[in-house]
Structure formats: structure tokens, C-alpha cells
Homo-oligomer: A and B are copies of this chain.
């Protein structure tokens, strides 16, 4: 039973808790409790359950630009053979932070984070395009990140 693929229907209270933590991941259980109408302990239990179930996790997210990674790109890959195996190898690369199997003119899309154009070129030629089964790639260099949200699931 893979609980990661099926939706456990969340009630409004759990959604409200998630919303609170999407605004501020360090907000206190007590404060969240006040906002959603639950005791502190109940909020704590729910957060623990939601986290264990993989529905939600509280983490720090950073801005690549501010950390010296000046070049980001989305790479579309056309492949032969088993795309899952290729996706595994892509996922193992340090510079790759996002990999998804897709339907369409690309079989896989991967987002990469690099320190410079040179790193990106190296990554592409030395690592990605040498993978067996990768037929061709198309690179979309990021000019400007315009929107990035983490708060779906509560609308």
C-alpha cells in the first residue's frame, strides 16, 4: 500500500494548519491552535501525522541567486529506452534539483542549478548528454524567476 500516491482526504482543520505553516513554518503550535480552534497538543499531533504521512514537510527553502548560483535552467530530454532509469541517473546529479517524467515532445524535464554558464555547459555535455538513452536535449536558460509558490493544496 503506497500511501504516497493516494490522497487521504484532509479536513478543513488540517488544511488550515497547513496554511498557517505555509505562511510561517516556525509559528508556534499554540498560536496555530488559536487560529484553527484546537488545543496546542492536538495541533502538534496533527502536524506530526501530516509530516509522517508525507503530506507536508516544514523546511527551509533558499534563493539560489543569493547563494551564488547565478545560472538556472530547465532541460528537456528526448530519450530512448526506459525513461525511469534515466530519471534516476539525472536525480543522482548534484546540480539537478527537480526531475519529472512527462508526456509530450520531451520525455523528461529536469531543472538544474549552476554557479556559472561554464558549469552549465560542463554539466550538460559531461554528465547529462553522455547518459545512455539520452537522444537529444533542449536547454531553457532562466532569465528571471517570476513566481514560486508553495501554497497549493489549500485553495
Contacts and interface: CB of A to CB of B under 8 A. Distances in A.
A152 B21 contact: no
Nearest to A143: B101
A147 B97 contact: yes
Nearest to A94: B155
Interface of A: 4-10, 18, 21-26, 53-70, 72-74, 76, 84, 87-88, 90-91, 94, 96-106, 109, 113, 138-150, 152-155
A66 B55 contact: yes
A54 B51 CA distance: 25
B94 A143 contact: no
A33 to B, nearest CB: 15
